A and B are shown apart, each in its own frame.
Chain A
Amino acid sequence: DQQVKQNSPSLSVQEGRISILNCDYTNSMFDYFLWYKKYPAEGPTFLISISSIKDKNEDGRFTVFLNKSAKHLSLHIVPSQPGDSAVYFCAASARWDTPLVFGKGTRLSVIA
């Protein structure tokens, strides 16, 4: 059974608007949550993370929100840029040194 779910396989957004990518998880033991970005023919690259003691973390245009009671997190990108077009993976783990469990990914297309 999937522990990390990204229910939207794809998302299309206009340049300059907000992109919101969603992720749900089922394992209540998860304490570390990360977002990775992946371009074609490259490895995933770390984007932003949040631990369970926080409900929000910002890094420039990227903000991750965590709602532990709903077992839901989201990634907001404001403003969206064409270079943000990529596949975004949500990942989670129970401890800092246990393997990350990944969702299936959401393909974001930012249209100029």
Chain B
Amino acid sequence: DAGITQSPRYKITETGRQVTLMCHQTWSHSYMFWYRQDLGHGLRLIYYSAAADITDKGEVPDGYVVSRSKTENFPLTLESATRSQTSVYFCASLGVSGANVLTFGAGSRLTVL
């Protein structure tokens, strides 16, 4: 399927566990982003990547790790999940449109108990 897909869509885990959220896009877009959405905070940038093997921190990177070995994939890993990381996570990609129009995935809802 064309587009941007996230998996899993829903995940429940326990404090201290490692969790990886997957993001895959089929457009070969150079840029990819991870945002989290929390009540009262809107969408906050966690990490982004301008190309394969190039990543950079966003506003709230602590506790997260990313990698970009292939252009189409941008996984987000919580190395030791905490309750404060309970959130909805959105992956997005950006092509060369000149207008910064991000296309978002459907989201991954993560609950950390």
Contact between A99 and B42 (Cβ–Cβ < 8 Å)?
no
Docked complex Cα distance between A45 and B90 (Å): 12
CB B41 to nearest CB in A, in angstroms, measures 6
Q: Which residues of A approach B to under 8 Å, CB–CB?
A: 6, 32, 34, 36, 41-46, 49, 51, 89, 91, 93, 95-105
Contact between A104 and B104 (Cβ–Cβ < 8 Å)?
no
Chain B 68-107 residues near chain A, CB threshold 8 A = 90, 92, 94, 97-107
Residues of chain A within 8 A (CB-CB) of B33 are 99
Residue of A nearest to B50 (CB): A97
On chain B, the number of residues with a Cβ less than 8 Å from chain A's Cβ atoms is 26
Tally of A-B Cβ pairs under 8 angstroms? 60
Contact between A103 and B100 (Cβ–Cβ < 8 Å)?
no
Docked complex Cα distance between A99 and B48 (Å): 8
> What are 8 sample pairs from A and B whose C-beta atoms fall under 8 A apart?
A32-B100, A34-B100, A42-B106, A43-B90, A43-B104, A91-B43, A104-B42, A105-B43
Residues of chain A within 8 A (CB-CB) of B94 are 97
- The interface centre, meaning the residue of A36, A91, A96 with most chain B CB atoms within 10 A of its CB, is A96
Q: Which residues of B approach A to under 8 Å, CB–CB?
A: 31, 33, 35, 40-45, 48, 50, 58, 90, 92, 94, 97-107
Given contacts A104-B40, A104-B41, A105-B42, is CB(A44)–CB(B100) below 8 Å? Answer: no
Contact between A46 and B103 (Cβ–Cβ < 8 Å)?
yes
Residue of B nearest to A31 (CB): B100
Docked complex Cα distance between A105 and B48 (Å): 21
CB B79 to nearest CB in A, in angstroms, measures 23
Interface residue from B42, B44, B98, B106 paired with A43 (Cβ < 8 Å): B106
Docked complex Cα distance between A44 and B91 (Å): 10
Docked complex Cα distance between A41 and B90 (Å): 11
Residues of chain A within 8 A (CB-CB) of B48 are 99
Contact between A100 and B100 (Cβ–Cβ < 8 Å)?
yes
